[in-house]
């Protein structure tokens, strides 16, 4: 048993879903009581339902469960039920978008769900019930949802649900992979918060197992996300792009998608390669790719220096872009560099500003919106 007065684990904050010889559902209730669950399909037909014995930690294994799309209701018998729609395993998300009028951008959020919620409400992206109200706008999360903060799991399920809401309205939510996503999925857990570690522990998992690329619902969703996207003539990555080493953004994202589903990806942080399981050269090449400090997950040069204009110009020309938007390297407030060709969005105080880019013919108006709802133009 553990103290729910210190942290709240109810609802999606402690939810873990895994496809492994069927479907496994894990959740946490505030009090020791019977758990309740129900799964229905798109026609509202019940696929499975039942109760668990009295506990705070609940686990249900539904053997031979094949349906990947369903609605899950879960919770405690007295505390009420939570609802979430689960989608089928996604393919690699698209990475090129045109004719988008408005784009909201967030740098590293690092598990600060509550602050993020306030900010998106002030920016009129979501309403007071955290539902999408931004119409056909696009919202970009530039990676590093993981680590440091206490609400990573809740944040991930929030974005998972927000994607559907935006799509119905004609909008779009994007998640771009950052270095902390890669760190957590490959087992570098130095920055995982106490609360997040408790979630893994009570479910009998290591934290990285909660995001397994083939078993976990959230893990399969995460590896479907691109590392680089382009909206209009703006190119987005977590760190800075020098050169992706591929002719196109799509080629790069396809390569990453394939690599992340290879079992070797989960063993990149081993002290030495295991030659009985895989080719050591493959392990070294993959480790070098994902942990390359000059790669788009890690590069900080554009924000830390004002002398790399030639590199930036060459990259923008190659990928037919005008503006590069990055996170990863913190700044006190969102700002532009290199005569407006670079926008830095990662903040010293995470999730306290959101960037708004409004397309006007060939020009882009740029604003930052803060927790007070003030919209301030940036040059």
pLDDT tens for each residue of 300-329 = 999 999 999 999 999 999 999 999 999 999
CA distances to 33, 77, 93, 200, 245 from 57, rounded to whole Å, are: 9, 13, 34, 12, 47
Q: How confident is the model at residue 68 (pLDDT cuts 50, 70, 90)?
A: confident
∠126-168-227 over CA atoms, to 5°? 75
pLDDT at residue 101 above 70? yes
Q: Residue 67 has what pLDDT?
A: 87
Report pLDDT digits (tens) over 116-127: 999 999 999 999
Q: Which of 158, 308, 187, 150 is nearest to 239 (CA)?
A: 308
- Sequence-distant (6+) residues with CB within 8 A of 208 are 184, 185, 186, 187, 189, 266
Q: What percentage of the chain has pLDDT greater than the value 90?
A: 95
Strand order in the sheet with 55-63: 16-19, 22-33, 55-63
- In which residue ranges of the chain is CATH 2.60.40.3080 found? 11-86
Q: Residue 1 has what pLDDT?
A: 54
Q: What percentage of the chain has pLDDT greater than the value 70?
A: 99
Residues 147, 162: Cα–Cα separation, whole Å = 21
Whether the CB-CB separation of 121 and 251 falls below 8 Å is answered with no
Report pLDDT digits (tens) over 330-363: 999 999 999 999 999 999 999 999 999 999 988 9
What does the radius of gyration of the chain's CA atoms come to, in whole angstroms?
A: 21
Q: Which CATH number fits domain 96-377: 3.60.21.10, 3.30.70.100, 3.30.565.10, 3.40.50.20?
A: 3.60.21.10
Residues 108, 309: Cα–Cα separation, whole Å = 24
Q: Residue 66 has what pLDDT?
A: 84
Task: Show the 3-state SS of 34-46.
Answer: CEEEEEECCCCCE
* H-state helical runs in the chain: 113-122, 152-169, 179-185, 194-202, 217-222, 249-260, 280-290, 301-304, 309-318
Q: Residue 326 has what pLDDT?
A: 98
What's the whole-number mean pLDDT along residues 198-221?
A: 97
Whether the CB-CB separation of 165 and 84 falls below 8 Å is answered with no
Q: How confident is the model at residue 218 (pLDDT cuts 50, 70, 90)?
A: very high
Q: Which of 267, 209, 265 is nearest to 18 (CA)?
A: 209
Residues 182, 358: Cα–Cα separation, whole Å = 31
- Say what the pTM is: 0.96
Q: How confident is the model at residue 5 (pLDDT cuts 50, 70, 90)?
A: confident
State how far Cα 161 lies from the chain centre: 12
Task: Kindly report the CATH number that applies to the domain delimited by 11-86.
Answer: 2.60.40.3080
Residues 251, 107: Cα–Cα separation, whole Å = 24
Q: How confident is the model at residue 55 (pLDDT cuts 50, 70, 90)?
A: very high
Report pLDDT digits (tens) over 219-275: 999 999 999 999 999 999 999 999 999 999 999 999 999 999 999 999 999 999 999
- In which residue ranges of the chain is CATH 3.60.21.10 found? 96-377
What's the whole-number mean pLDDT along residues 88-95?
A: 93
What's the whole-number mean pLDDT along residues 10-26?
A: 96
């Amino acid at each position: 048993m553990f103290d729910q007065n210190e942290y709240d684990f109810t609802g999606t904050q402690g939810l873990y879903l895994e496809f492994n010889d069927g479907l496994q559902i894990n959740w946490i209730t505030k009090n020791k009581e019977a758990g309740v669950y129900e799964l229905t399909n798109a026609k509202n037909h019940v696929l499975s339902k039942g109760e668990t014995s009295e506990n705070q930690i609940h686990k249900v294994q539904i053997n031979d469960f094949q349906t990947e799309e369903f609605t899950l209701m879960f919770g405690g018998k007295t505390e009420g039920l939570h609802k979430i729609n689960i989608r089928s395993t996604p393919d690699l998300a698209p990475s090129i978008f045109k004719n988008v009028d408005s784009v909201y951008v967030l740098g590293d959020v690092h598990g600060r769900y509550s602050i993020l919620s306030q900010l998106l409400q002030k920016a009129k992206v979501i309403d007071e019930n955290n539902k999408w109200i931004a119409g056909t706008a696009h919202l970009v999360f530039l990676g590093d949802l993981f680590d440091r903060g206490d609400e990573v799991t809740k944040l991930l399920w929030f974005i998972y649900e927000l994607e559907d809401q935006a799509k119905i309205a004609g909008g779009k939510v994007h998640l771009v992979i950052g270095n902390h996503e890669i760190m957590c999925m490959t087992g570098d857990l130095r920055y995982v918060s106490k609360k997040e570690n408790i979630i893994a522990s009570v479910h009998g998992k290591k934290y990285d197992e909660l995001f397994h690329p083939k078993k976990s619902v959230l893990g399969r969703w995460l590896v479907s996300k691109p590392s680089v996207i382009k909206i209009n003539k703006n190119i987005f990555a977590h760190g800075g792009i020098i050169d992706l080493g591929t002719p196109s953004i799509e080629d790069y994202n396809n390569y990453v998608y394939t690599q992340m589903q290879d079992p070797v990806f989960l063993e990149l942080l081993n002290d030495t390669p295991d030659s009985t399981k895989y080719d050591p050269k493959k392990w070294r090449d993959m480790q070098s790719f994902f942990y390359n400090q000059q790669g788009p997950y890690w590069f900080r040069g554009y924000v830390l220096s004002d002398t790399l204009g030639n590199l930036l110009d060459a990259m923008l020309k190659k990928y037919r872009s005008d503006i590069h938007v990055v996170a990863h390297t913190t700044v006190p407030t969102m700002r532009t560099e290199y005569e407006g060709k670079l926008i830095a969005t990662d903040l010293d105080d995470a999730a306290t500003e959101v960037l708004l880019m409004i397309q006007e013919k060939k020009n882009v108006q740029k604003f930052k919106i803060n927790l007070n709802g003030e919209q301030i133009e940036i040059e």
